[in-house]
Amino acid sequence: MSAHSSVWVRIFCVAISLCGVRSAVAMEPEKPRSGDAMIERWLQKQAERLDQRFLDGAKTRAEWEERRPRLHREYLYMLGLWPLPEKTPLHATITGTVERDDVLIEKLHFQSKPGLYVTGNLYRPKTIAGRLPAILYVCGHSGKGRDGNKTAFQDHGMWFANNGYICLIVDTLQLGEIPGIHHGTYGTPNRHFGSYGLKGQDTVENRWWWQARGYTPAGVECWNGIRALDYLVSRPDVDADRLGVTGISGGGAATFWIAAADERVKVAVPVSGMSDLESYVSHKVINGHCDCMFLINTYQWEWTTIAALIAPRPLLFANSDQDPIFPMDGNRRVIARLRELYKMYDKPELVDDYVSKGGHAYRPDLRVAVFKWINKYLKHDTSDVKDADFKELPGKQLRVFPEEKDIPKDAINGKIDETFVPKAEVKLPKKGEFAEWKKGLLKELRDKSFRGFPAEIPSLKASNESLGRFISDSGIEVHITKARESQSVIVVDQQFPEDVNTGAEAMEFLKDNHPWLLFPRGVMYNRWTQTSPPNFVNRSHALLGRTVDEGRVWDIIAAAKHLRKEKTAPRRIVGVGTAGILVAYAALFEPSIKEVVIINPPKSHREGPTFLNVLRVLDIPDALGMLAPDVKLTLVNAKDKAFDRTAEVYRLAGAADKLQRK
């Protein structure tokens, strides 16, 4: 056996013993792993830290109002909406009208962006003239197939129209007449709602590049709601100064998104739409929610701060006392914080909660509470109300596009995630301006992708050095397998043993029989459960303003500082595939790393590794170029033309001799 083969056999044997062979048993449910307790403690600690940051630390109304404009921009950024998209023509079209008693139901669609169709039903009274208050009703997760989930909430449209309102009920992206995708990182059937009945929607999508792109379907739902308000105020029968928004579950979340983003909303009643980080992360309630319920928490907010952006407008926080995905302990914490804020405004009466008895569903008392609150603050009417009482229309009668052939050919709903958040277009540095170019991009990376990093990451602390066990970040354990007289340390990532076949290429280049091995968090020795519960660890990270891969960069930096203290330790750090890119980013933030080798590098962060918003800043070729002029970079099997750009950046930095492509 050759020298270069033996080292990969060594890694392969470690991988097999710790991870198991992925064969027929891969179809069985994944059993708890050794790293579960470690990462769950870390996540809980991070959630507790952020839970102390309500209102960004503001203690008075003046402090809050001083922070609020910045927080509003940050909020929109975390939804993928800053800078705000252009408000292109809506091309609103009414395709038909249905009459029911004293109500007219208009079947309509508009385009919130070119090709992004929003389908809805608008309910209006036949006999009341003049400009009326208007309600935007945003839907929860109710699968009605081709009819769209708007048809599941007809009773709300009918009640509002029968009581002197215009009510527009809009379909969601995933469950509308032209379905898109909510489940990009959450892919198992929702245990509380069951299968949605849409082909491909209940399987793992593994679109982790959403996080790298800064994309969340919550941003689409928010934008569709903002444009729905644009449509409503364009109508001659709507009073633009009396707009409200409400909805349950996913619609409750969307109520928060829209009302926090758009101050034209004068009254908001979210029903079962928000919990807090203690619930979502520490108590794993995130496992009951799809991606439309969450923004990417880039700025590491305490979650209730989102709702705080609605203050001091009237807000009723409605919930149910036996709701497993909006538990009451979280509800109590949220409303307590909101009451604190409204007291700062001397308007405590403008926020309240209503708790119905039962599970995750509407009941007559819950609907009546919604109607009374909206009546009080949009019509100054405090009289008693009754629940809607009518026979439901067949959903097919309410379709905006009656048949498949009627669906517009230019619809992009199913691929809006590709374009909704613009990707960065980085210009090459001009001659003599490389240092400033690099400085600017590094600042953006720290602000938008690695905000969770301190100014200085500490070195590893020994846990059991004789066994190669070290502590990195708040109890995170990593492993280092040492060797004698080695020139290289190889970072082993979660792809092993799948990428062992790349070893021959690596060792042919390295000529190193016994390299050191670095196992960062979640790899080999401390691997955690990946799929059951549904992607809990990776999804929770985004709620805390981090990603797992960012944590691995942290571990590599801490390890590099530790190795620097040992005279016999290698100074060259090597990674295969995505692990190589982790090493490159570690070198960007840690000046002691002077030589990096990457074998089979991915050409884009779309393929990994995943850092929050990184594609809004740059992509892999530019990131590698930023290693110039101080880092010697060797790319092995980097055949794609994308890496020509890396070479050009090195040339512009005056360091062309420090880049090798093998």
pLDDT higher than threshold 80 for residue 4: no
Q: Is the link from the previous residue into 83 a cis peptide, with omega within 30 of 0?
A: yes
pLDDT at 484: 75
**Number of other residues whose CB lies within 10 A of the CB of residue 304:** 25
More confident residue, 136 or 508: 136
**Number of other residues whose CB lies within 10 A of the CB of residue 388:** 19
pLDDT at 525: 85
Least confident of 97-101, 188-192, 256-260, 424-428: 188-192
With CA atoms as reference, report the closest residue to 313 among 337, 347, 285, 343: 347
pLDDT higher than threshold 70 for residue 265: yes
Q: Which residue has the tokens 């309240």?
A: 352
pLDDT at 532: 65
Task: Tell me what the pLDDT averaged over the chain comes to.
Answer: 91
Q: pTM for the whole thing?
A: 0.93
pLDDT higher than threshold 90 for residue 421: yes
Contact 579, 608 (CB under 8 A): no
pLDDT at 129: 87
Angle between the N-to-C axes of helices 548-564 and 536-543, in degrees from 0 to 180, rounded to the nearest 10:
80
Least confident of 172-181, 197-206, 320-329, 460-469: 197-206
Instruction: Give, for 267, the enclosing helix (H) or strand (E).
Output: strand 265-271
Same fold, 3-9+429-661 and 54-418: yes
Q: Which residues of 79-92 are buried (b: 16+ CB within 10 A; e: fewer)?
A: bbbbeebeeeebeb
Which 8-state DSSP code applies to residue 324?
Answer: T
pLDDT at 13: 45
| Model confidence pLDDT, tens digit, residues 640-651 | 999 999 999 999
pLDDT at 502: 52
Phi–psi pair at 512, nearest 5 degrees = -130, 115
pLDDT higher than threshold 50 for residue 2: no
Secondary structure string (H, E, C) spanning 218-242? HHHHHHHHHHHHHHHHHCCCEEEEE
More confident residue, 190 or 473: 473
Q: Which residues pair with 167 in a beta bridge?
A: 123, 135
pLDDT higher than threshold 50 for residue 397: yes
Secondary structure string (H, E, C) spanning 119-187? EEEEEEECCCCCCEEEEEEECCCCCCHHHCHHHHHHHHHHHHHHCCCEEEEECCCCCCCCCCCCCCCCC
Q: Classify the C-alpha dihedral 352-385-390-239 as positive or negative.
A: negative
| Model confidence pLDDT, tens digit, residues 33-91 | 889 999 999 999 999 999 999 999 999 999 999 999 999 999 999 999 999 999 999 99
Q: Which tokens sit at 504?
A: 């021959």
pLDDT at 189: 39
The domain spans of the chain are 3-9+429-661, 54-418
- At 203, the pLDDT band (50, 70, 90 cuts) reads very low
pLDDT at 509: 53
Q: Which fold does the domain 3-9+429-661 belong to in CATH?
A: Rossmann fold (3.40.50)
- At 302, the pLDDT band (50, 70, 90 cuts) reads very high
C-alpha span between 324 and 322 (Å, rounded)? 6
pLDDT at 497: 46
| Mean pLDDT, rounded, for 364-376 | 98
pLDDT higher than threshold 70 for residue 201: no
Instruction: Give, for 366, the enclosing helix (H) or strand (E).
Output: helix 364-378
| Model confidence pLDDT, tens digit, residues 520-572 | 999 988 999 887 668 999 999 999 999 999 999 999 999 999 999 888 888 89
Q: Decide which of 3.30.565.10, 3.40.640.10, 3.40.50.720, 3.40.50.1820 is the CATH code for 54-418.
A: 3.40.50.1820
C-alpha span between 196 and 152 (Å, rounded)? 13
Least confident of 404-408, 506-510, 532-536: 506-510
pLDDT at 529: 87
Q: Which tokens sit at 350?
A: 């403008």
pLDDT at 515: 87
Pairing of strands 488-491, 461-464: unpaired
| Mean pLDDT, rounded, for 492-520 | 65
Pairing of strands 238-248, 595-599: unpaired
The one-letter code for the residue type at 216 is T
